[in-house]
Amino acid sequence: MKKSLMFMSAAVLALSTVLISSCSDDEGGGGSKVPPAKIKTIAFNDGSAIESWEFTYDDQDRVSSISNVYDGGDPSIIAYTYDDAASELTILKDENETIYALDAEGRVVKEYWNEDKTEWEGYQYDADGRMIKVFEHYSGADHLKYDLTVEDGNLTHRIRYEDDGTTIREDREFTYTIGDNASGIHQTYAVDSEWKNIAGLYGKQSKKLVEAYVRHITSDPGTSFGATYTYTFDDKDRVATQTKNGTSSGGNFTESWAYTYYED
The dihedral formed by the CA atoms of 227, 68, 131 and 151, expressed in degrees to the nearest 10: 40
pLDDT at 34: 81
Q: Is 8 exposed, middle or buried (0-12, 13-18, 19+ CB in 10 A)?
A: exposed
Whole-prediction pTM:
0.87
pLDDT in tens, 27-82: 444 345 788 999 999 999 999 999 999 999 999 999 999 999 999 999 999 999 99
The per-residue pLDDT for range 110-165, each reduced to its tens digit, is: 999 999 999 999 999 999 999 999 999 999 999 999 999 999 999 999 999 999 99
Q: What domains are there in the chain, each with its CATH number?
A: 3-26+38-261 (2.40.160.190)
Give me the residues paired with residue 214 across strands.
173, 226
Give Rg (Cα) of the chain. 19
Q: What is the pLDDT of residue 24?
A: 44
Separation of alpha carbons 54 and 122, rounded Å: 27
Measure the CA angle with vertex 43, ends 39 and 44; round to 5°. 125
Q: Give the DSSP letter of residue 26.
A: G
The SS3 call for residue 199 is helix
Contacts of 151 (CB under 8 A, 6+ apart): none
CA–CA distance, 39 with 25 (Å, rounded to integer): 24
